[in-house]
Structure 1
Amino acid sequence: MLNKAARLMKLFLVLMFAAAIVFPATVQAATENETNEIRYLLGNYHVSGITEDKLEGKTVEEMLALLDDPFTTYFTSEQRDQFLNAIENSFVGIGVRLGEDEDGLYISEVFPNMPADLAGLQRDDYITAINGSSVQGKSATDAVNSILGEENTSVRLTVKRGGDLLNISIQRGQVQVPIVVSKRFGQIGYIELSSFSSNGDKEFTKALEQMKADDIGALIIDLRDNGGGYIDTAKNIGANFIKQGVFVHTNDRNQKDIPSIIENGQTFDKPIFLLLNGNSASASEALAGALRDSANATIIGMNSFGKGSMQYMMNLTDGGMLKVTTVEYLTPKNNKVNHVGLKPDVEVYGSMPQMLAALQAAGLSDITIKFNKHHAAINDIDVSDPMPYKVEDGQLYVPSRTLAAMIGADVVWNSKDNTVDIIKGTKKQSYELTKKVVIQADSITYLNVAEFAKTFDTKWSQTGDSWILKVSTK
């Protein structure tokens, strides 16, 4: 058994961080061979230090429960393929993102050259029926489950476009969701990385090299909602900013520190800003910790998830796979991540306020946001950050945190006076919770833009179904 497991380790191990992908808790029965292999691998490599004798006579499900480690997982061959495809942002479908509003389910994004695009679906189409069955009362999740299916099968969508109802048949196929999205806000570069896929480092570096050629003045790296992926991908991305040094420290079951070292990397002489939120996990945290410790990067957003452990993926002889936690990692300055996360240097609540805060920190002084109920753009560049707003009695109300972020100010709830306070430098303005000034709904505090503009220079207008907000902080 020892020699057999050793061969498995040698031939099939892939070092990776577990992405935030969840499979059913019920473990499908492993074969006897796989059960024996799993017992050996857990008893010799799991970071807890558990030994084989403690696992003797137990099923795979019982062994995993004993570890109390949600990131050590047994996969059937089918689940393994789903897991690996998820890291690559690849799946069988039609290639759209769905949104939901008071009018129903709509298409918020159509991926270029994917089945939906080729069939003629468009952004903002409302889905009224799937295969002839009305979607009224169904959630976006229910709709997605109805649309997904086997490759090369068809799904028929009835969509409302303007005043027309269209029936569109789409053949399901392999969909590749973009891993890297890059944009320019003037001299500020922006790269969004959604997963540390096997090719993510190459795509990231290509986007970065183009920005360096364009002589950007600052860089924003968006790792929000990035649950992780391959450690080598994260390390290779880090090498764009760290010439030489520790990427992460790793502690194994024997508490031995085995640092992962970057050699022959590069330096980056422009300011770096990282966007994180509570769903930024694993490889995202490793990269962010390394760039803050070794490349003077600034983290903006919310405390990250706190998954400071690495998993090996081990293929089993009967077709399954074991993903097992083998080490805990620390940042280059030996800061703990596991169960703690990374605390931001600048804490900002809310997706759009985070984006605006990063742009402000990177030097963007003139900001124009154009938005409607489905989409938003900053300085004519589309962003995925939602822009909630309300219109009552002809007055525009925008979240107070968004307005504060636009001008680089802080927003504070004053419980003593029962007011919302906007503070910028020595200037402070308090807004009472009256209907014509402040609206509170869906856990968001909305502020009347006209009232805000009395103190802070803000222009706003309406064009068709879109609103436009403009500020300058020069």
Structure 2
Amino acid sequence: MKNFKRITAAVLSIMIIFMVWGTDVFAAQAQIQQQETGFSDDYLDSVRKLIKQKYSGSITDAALNKPTVEGMFEALDIYSVFYKQSEFNSFMDSLGGEIEGVGIVVEKIGDYVTVVKVFEGLPAQKAGIQKGDKISEVNGISAAKKEIDEVISNIKGTAGTKVKLGILKESIKDEVEVARARVDVPSVSYEIRGNIGYILIDMFSANTYSGVKEALNEFDSKSIANIVLDLRNNPGGLLDQAVSVGRLFVPKGLITKLDFKDEAMEDEEYYSSLKSIKYKLAVLVNENSASASEILTGAIKDTGAGVIIGNKTFGKAKVQSFIPILSPEAYERLNKDSENKTVNASMFEDAYESDLLGWAKMTMGMYYTPNGECIDLKGIEPDINVSEGSKEAGGIKVNEIRQLYIAVKPSLGTACSDVYNAECILKLLNYDVDEPDNILDKKTTEALTRFQKDNKVYGYGVLDFCTQRLLNDKLEALSESEDTVYLKAVDVLE
């Protein structure tokens, strides 16, 4: 069994899950639930004490009068939640930039979950799995007509274990055994656009700093000093990664300060030691840029390290940290001779993972920008405000369109994300399609036929691989010509 260690890194992420919790519980119902859960009054009181000590927010005794641990944390703000061990592992995997699987991206197309991307050098590619393959079975159990989440859950598993996949290749069935592995999922993408180095950060996971550093090394080798850092729709992530990226751009001084509610916890300050600004920087933000991305944005704006362009950010300055919660049995054993009992497993050197009931992600403080501003519920105003979206194309935002996978060939009636992205591109190119959705309807096939003929390929309304490549080429051009926020950044930098 693995020895348990305290988690000290703050987790900054926006959770777009809004729930309404009741505060009144009938005494009889509470008594029944308490009997079912096995939580003693002493144990539940210890959970309440922990919340009152560390939770940075308003909460009443009545709201904490819950017969379950889950209920108490659900009564806090929308960013606080209780995770079982498996849920915690999945959450940390998403922030860690790694998952345990076979190295594929899938999508539900028709009756089958279909492979739309295969990562190079990973088990799936080595086993011969290709884009467009349909997953017909997982460990001998049919995957046809199953929900995508169920199929994915069955494919994923502990690194080193194996999974047998039934594969349909052009209606020919094959079976392969694939070893699972830890798959690194990049959070950063970059490219050179003329004399501009463009960096997109999807979220701040454990590999974000290394991804940005790789991009800057590439730009340095080409003597490119004009940088566009795109944080639009970035919901946040790991504090240490946002700070590390900040140290690449922000001049010597404060990046952010964390102020915790619990007086036993020391407030934290994070600094940059950068002696001089190396790049001419423009940062792109919108209303979905939140949390850790706002820490970076605020530091760049306050220190004058770059120009902020776009729309006002989300406005989340709340800081969440994880606390391991003891099971009732471990609570009784570890607190046996203690006068100050606690459910916080990190207070015990001899606590093991098997002693945990789960993990509480709880709002424990606030962060401040270098100028001492708390942007919670206010957001950060850009230096230059620019509206996103094409009015002529119904507000479609070119920066939110994704490249087509070139994995399947959708025809009339096919439903998949490639159809949605194709319709968005066609609409921006002034072809007559309805509001983009995932279904390739008759109107879209007619638009595709016209697009194909205009580009001197066979026009028959099927979203074949040649047409997808043409649309991807058009999207690349549109990303530079129709993205109003990016275009303003280019003007500023040049």
Assess if the C-alpha contact under 8 Å between 1:43 and 1:55 holds in 2. no
Residue in structure 2 matching 1:326, options 359, 364, 367: 364
Residue in structure 1 matching 2:97, options 89, 94, 97: 89
Assess if the C-alpha contact under 8 Å between 2:404 and 2:418 holds in 1. no
Q: Distance in 1 between matches of 2:98 and 2:309?
A: 29
* 1:155 Cα deviation from its structure 2 partner: 3.0
The secondary structure found in structure 1 opposite 2:130 is coil
Residue in structure 2 matching 1:14, options 6, 9, 14: 9
2:421 match: 388
Question: Is 1:40 the equivalent of 2:80?
Answer: no
Question: Is 1:271 the equivalent of 2:281?
Answer: yes
Question: Is 1:221 the equivalent of 2:229?
Answer: yes
Q: Distance in 2 between matches of 1:237 and 1:327?
A: 22
Residue in structure 2 matching 1:348, options 388, 410, 417: 388
Assess if the C-alpha contact under 8 Å between 1:20 and 1:228 holds in 2. no
Q: Distance in 1 between matches of 2:154 and 2:106?
A: 13
Q: Match of 1:13, as an amino acid? A: T
2:411 match: none
Residue in structure 2 matching 1:309, options 296, 318, 321: 318
* 1:109 Cα deviation from its structure 2 partner: 1.7
Change (3 A) 1:53 1:165: closer
Change (3 A) 1:116 1:244: same
The secondary structure found in structure 1 opposite 2:57 is coil
Q: CA RMSD in A?
A: 4.8
* 1:65 Cα deviation from its structure 2 partner: 4.1
Q: Which ranges in structure 2 are unaligned for 5 or more consecutive residues?
A: 22-32, 325-343, 346-354, 390-394, 409-416, 458-464, 482-486, 488-494
Compare the two structures and name the one with the higher helix fraction: 2
Compare the two structures and name the one with the higher strand fraction: 1
Q: Distance in 2 between matches of 1:153 and 1:21?
A: 34
Change (3 A) 1:31 1:209: farther
Assess if the C-alpha contact under 8 Å between 1:351 and 1:385 holds in 2. no
* 1:73 Cα deviation from its structure 2 partner: 3.0
Q: TM-score scaled by structure 1?
A: 0.66
* 1:168 Cα deviation from its structure 2 partner: 2.2
2:466 match: 464
Residue in structure 2 matching 1:438, options 432, 443, 446: 432
Question: Is 1:296 the equivalent of 2:306?
Answer: yes
The secondary structure found in structure 1 opposite 2:216 is helix
Assess if the C-alpha contact under 8 Å between 2:286 and 2:312 holds in 1. yes
2:218 match: 210
Assess if the C-alpha contact under 8 Å between 1:88 and 1:195 holds in 2. no
Q: Match of 1:15, as an amino acid? A: A
* 1:191 Cα deviation from its structure 2 partner: 3.0
Change (3 A) 1:328 1:225: same
The secondary structure found in structure 1 opposite 2:229 is strand
Change (3 A) 1:185 1:272: same
Q: TM-score scaled by structure 2?
A: 0.63
State which drifts further: 437-446 or 150-159.
437-446
The secondary structure found in structure 1 opposite 2:284 is strand
Q: Distance in 2 between matches of 1:254 and 1:339?
A: 22
Assess if the C-alpha contact under 8 Å between 1:231 and 1:283 holds in 2. yes
Which structure has more relative contact order (CA 8 Å, sep 6+)? It is 2
Q: Distance in 2 between matches of 1:385 and 1:296?
A: 35
Q: Match of 1:440, as an amino acid? A: D
How big is each residue's C-alpha offset from its partner over 1:69-125, in whole Å with a ceiling of 9 and x where there is no partner?
122233444443333222102232212111344685432221223221221212233
Aligned sequence identity (%): 24
How big is each residue's C-alpha offset from its partner over 1:178-201, in whole Å with a ceiling of 9 and x where there is no partner?
243333334332333344334532
Assess if the C-alpha contact under 8 Å between 2:198 and 2:230 holds in 1. yes
Q: Match of 2:466, as an amino acid? A: G
The secondary structure found in structure 2 opposite 1:141 is helix
Q: Match of 1:284, as an amino acid? A: S
Q: Distance in 1 between matches of 2:174 and 2:185?
A: 26
Residue in structure 2 matching 1:281, options 279, 286, 290: 290
Matched residues, number: 397
The secondary structure found in structure 1 opposite 2:223 is coil
Q: Match of 2:435, as an amino acid? A: A
Q: Distance in 2 between matches of 1:258 and 1:199?
A: 26
Q: Distance in 1 between matches of 2:262 and 2:175?
A: 62
Change (3 A) 1:242 1:276: same
